[in-house]
Structure 1
Amino acid sequence: MSLYIGLMSGTSLDAIDAALVDCGTPTPRLLATRAVAMPEALRDLLLRLCHAEGASFRELAEAEEAFCRLQARAVHELLEASGTAAADVVAIGSHGQTLEHAPEGHAGGAPYTLQLDNPSRLAELTGLEVVADFRRRDLAAGGQAAPLAPAFHQALFRHPEEWRLVLNLGGYANLTLLPPFDHPADVLGFDSGPANALLDGWYQRHQGGRFDADGAWAAGGRVDATLLARLLADDYFRRPPPKSTGREYFHLTWLERHLDDGESPRDVQTTLAELTAASVALAVEQLGERLPEAAPARLLPCGGGAHNPYLLDRLQARLPTLTLTPCAELGWPADWLEAGAFAWLAHRRLSGLPGNLPSVTGARGPRVLGGVYAP
């Protein structure tokens, strides 16, 4: 076995996800998982820092220290729960917490992507080698630095004969098109638009909880067709790939600019779910335009949105020719793809192998991603 730990904290800021992965087999194997909830104080601080116009060095240092300690706790709990000795782990792959992602810069400025992380501190706290800062190498090569997961999707789910789509429904949705093994087409993928970030944010504002469990609140409303049309008119949805997005673009202020103050809050929630489904369907159409011969048969939903039956129903309605198949049926639970991806990317880095897909990110070529931090 060749054991790696992947650490991921997504745009929902609900937890640090830790995955123990055996990367010593042709197809990576998930061995154990651990999620450590994000304390409210840290979550609030990170949310303040996301896309802040200004932040103090003290705030950044405090957030970084608290975040790294939480990461280290997740690693220790994962090792203890799985009965794994730290000496048996090759390295940790740490994504960090994205504060802002601007791969095309702002107003003509330099492109950037910023992840809060301190891999040196994490190595000190865990005694393990850490691979981190995966995104900026792709950015330096002219890429979007996102999404990076499609390379891992390829390692897990590419099929000898079947075209497949992998849909990650995290804070934002990204889609990966996997051709059959022997087909000459490239793997394609990009961020299709918002998913749980807007749904969770609107629900928190009007209902007080972290998220709309099972999409129950959305299911009780109605789609506001006029509002949906205004939202879908945003240029992002028809921009050709490569493209990526995040909280810096699609946020509640963006939503509020499209409201006329007459909408029912519950109907807005229903319309946001429909926006996710409709923008994913547009993304599938964009992929079809680039590969007219492709006929994907199966869509594999993953991420937190894969547990939202209302959202999955709306996706199926928008994509009636596709079979929605839980990725757990293919050997990998929906909640653990991203953490698993960064374990695998750490393995790629230490093996001297590229971790990006230029056909996805638009980089000038394959690049070995990440920096290495010794314990």
Structure 2
Amino acid sequence: MNKSLQKLVDISQATSRIIVGLMSGTSLDGLDIALCKFSGSGADTSVNLLHFTTTDFSPEFKNELRSVSSKRIVDLQQVTVLNAFIGNYYADLILEALESWGFSASEVDIIASHGQTIYHAPQSIHKLPNYPNATLQIGDGDHIAVKTGIITLSDFRQKHIAAGGEGAPLAVYGDYLIFSDEIENRILLNIGGIANFTYLPAGFNFDQIFSTDVGPGNTILDQYVQQHFEGMFFDKDAELALSGRVDEGLLKRLLADPFFGLPFPKTTGPELFNLDYLDRAIKSNENEISQVNVLATLSEFTARVIADAIRKSIPAETPFVIYLSGGGMHNPLLKDRLAKYLNCKLKNTADLGINPDAKEAVLFALLANECLAAESFSYTSRPEMPAVAMGKVSLPF
């Protein structure tokens, strides 16, 4: 038997596994690297986050990613070379992180890489009757595996789509296994470039779990800041937005897209919610809008679509606690508006034992652990949440 295949079998049968989880989202900020120790699988999963870091992408690299991300027409050569480049770049960042933590590559069993999404195309966005849901992530797993010498699982979203899902959100699987509770109804709300949440009713009943994208998180906010405020990548602490006021006309136009009338669950991305989307709404407005008022309105837009989705999806009068993760959890204006609309206090996943900035990377490490170690699924298959083992295996040699 191939030595790497034998090693893969041994890892799957071991009592514990050391897995590096990688996540880079649609905000294109940087690479999250989580070093995790897993034991068990399914409902018996135990995870210990050993180390975590985020490496910021350089402005030049961000611009390269933006040139091929969420656009229908791109330079295909650039996509091709970036696919290989990102794999090698991720490998370098992993090795640097391991060295800083005092770990050698030989001590790591598996790398779990989400990859960089450059286009997400569920049928609700592409609207092509003869074509299925689709998505594309780059950052080739073989390059990561060969350069690090570590078996790599990647491209998790493709199996989800092949089995009938839309490729997102995938956090629901890990949310269920790590964060479910016997007594407390929980909402795991991630506000990244796109906002999504998982509803975990008390009692570990997978059939009652609900998970969906709801619309823009930080994506249009950050893009607008980068376009209009030189040297800024985001509105830190919502300082700009807090100095503006909501323009009700613009808000009404932003909320008018047919996406918000689609049934739940659903997925979306910056392919729909981007500066072009905002520009069309601004041009339809009767009055000129200041930049800070645009940011205040975009913040209200994000808070409103999240709150509306939660209210529509969760049975009325159901008590719940919201646990935040993602960049939006650091935005005081968003948190204030959400608390007001939903009449609840907001916590974050640190209260549940997982660093909220590391949560997404940990959840992809968990998907790799499930793919390797789960003998059977701890959840039943549903059209939007198929019971499948996700991740393509890349061997180092």
Corresponding residue of 1:334: 356
Give the CA deviation at 1:182: 4.9
Give the CA deviation at 1:357: 7.6
Match status 1:248 vs 2:271: yes
Aligned residues: 369
Q: How does 1:1-375 map to 2 (within 5 A)?
A: 1-24=16-39, 26-104=45-123, 105-110=126-131, 111-183=133-205, 185-208=207-230, 209-259=232-282, 260=285, 262-288=288-314, 291-292=315-316, 295-320=318-343, 322-352=344-374, 358-359=381-382, 362-363=384-385, 365-375=386-396
Deviations 1:158-177 (A, max 9, x none): 11101010110100100110
Q: Which moved more, 1:172-181 or 1:38-47?
A: 38-47
Give the CA deviation at 1:313: 0.7
Give the CA deviation at 1:128: 0.3
Mapped to 2, the partners of 1:238 and 1:58 lie a distance apart of 37
Give the CA deviation at 1:216: 1.0
Give the CA deviation at 1:74: 2.0
SS in 2 for 1:51: coil
Mapped to 1, the partners of 2:60 and 2:298 lie a distance apart of 28
Give the CA deviation at 1:50: 1.3
CA contact (8 A) 1:136 1:145 kept: yes
Which ranges of structure 2 fall in alignment gaps of 5 or more residues? 1-15
CA contact (8 A) 1:42 1:67 kept: no
SS in 1 for 2:54: strand
Deviations 1:120-150 (A, max 9, x none): 1111111000001111111112211100011
Alpha-carbon spacing, 1:247–1:184, altered in 2? closer, same or farther (3 Å): closer
Deviations 1:32-73 (A, max 9, x none): 012222122221111111133334443123312331222112
Corresponding residue of 2:11: none
Q: What amino acid sits opposite 1:373 in the alignment?
A: S
Q: Which moved more, 1:70-79 or 1:196-205?
A: 70-79
Q: What amino acid sits opposite 1:169 in the alignment?
A: I
Mapped to 2, the partners of 1:215 and 1:358 lie a distance apart of 41
Q: What amino acid sits opposite 1:178 in the alignment?
A: L
Q: Which moved more, 1:103-112 or 1:135-144?
A: 103-112
Mapped to 2, the partners of 1:183 and 1:372 lie a distance apart of 31
Give the CA deviation at 1:155: 2.1
Alpha-carbon spacing, 1:182–1:340, altered in 2? closer, same or farther (3 Å): closer
Give the CA deviation at 1:275: 0.7
Alpha-carbon spacing, 1:56–1:275, altered in 2? closer, same or farther (3 Å): closer
Identity %: 35
Alpha-carbon spacing, 1:257–1:56, altered in 2? closer, same or farther (3 Å): closer
Mapped to 1, the partners of 2:362 and 2:185 lie a distance apart of 22
Deviations 1:248-277 (A, max 9, x none): 011110111111361111111001111111
Alpha-carbon spacing, 1:118–1:264, altered in 2? closer, same or farther (3 Å): same
Alpha-carbon spacing, 1:119–1:151, altered in 2? closer, same or farther (3 Å): same
CA contact (8 A) 1:237 1:282 kept: no
Give the CA deviation at 1:185: 4.5
Deviations 1:5-31 (A, max 9, x none): 011111111111110111115332211
Q: What amino acid sits opposite 1:273 in the alignment?
A: S
Mapped to 2, the partners of 1:341 and 1:355 lie a distance apart of 16
Mapped to 2, the partners of 1:357 and 1:334 lie a distance apart of 27
Report the RMSD for the aligned CA atoms in angstroms: 1.9
Q: What amino acid sits opposite 1:19 in the alignment?
A: A
Alpha-carbon spacing, 1:168–1:86, altered in 2? closer, same or farther (3 Å): same
CA contact (8 A) 2:134 2:166 kept: no
Give the CA deviation at 1:301: 1.0
Alpha-carbon spacing, 1:164–1:266, altered in 2? closer, same or farther (3 Å): same
Deviations 1:312-366 (A, max 9, x none): 111111111x22112212211111111111111111111255599855x615x31
Alpha-carbon spacing, 1:69–1:354, altered in 2? closer, same or farther (3 Å): farther
CA contact (8 A) 1:27 1:155 kept: no
CA contact (8 A) 2:245 2:293 kept: yes
CA contact (8 A) 1:21 1:32 kept: yes
SS in 2 for 1:52: coil
Mapped to 2, the partners of 1:338 and 1:184 lie a distance apart of 20
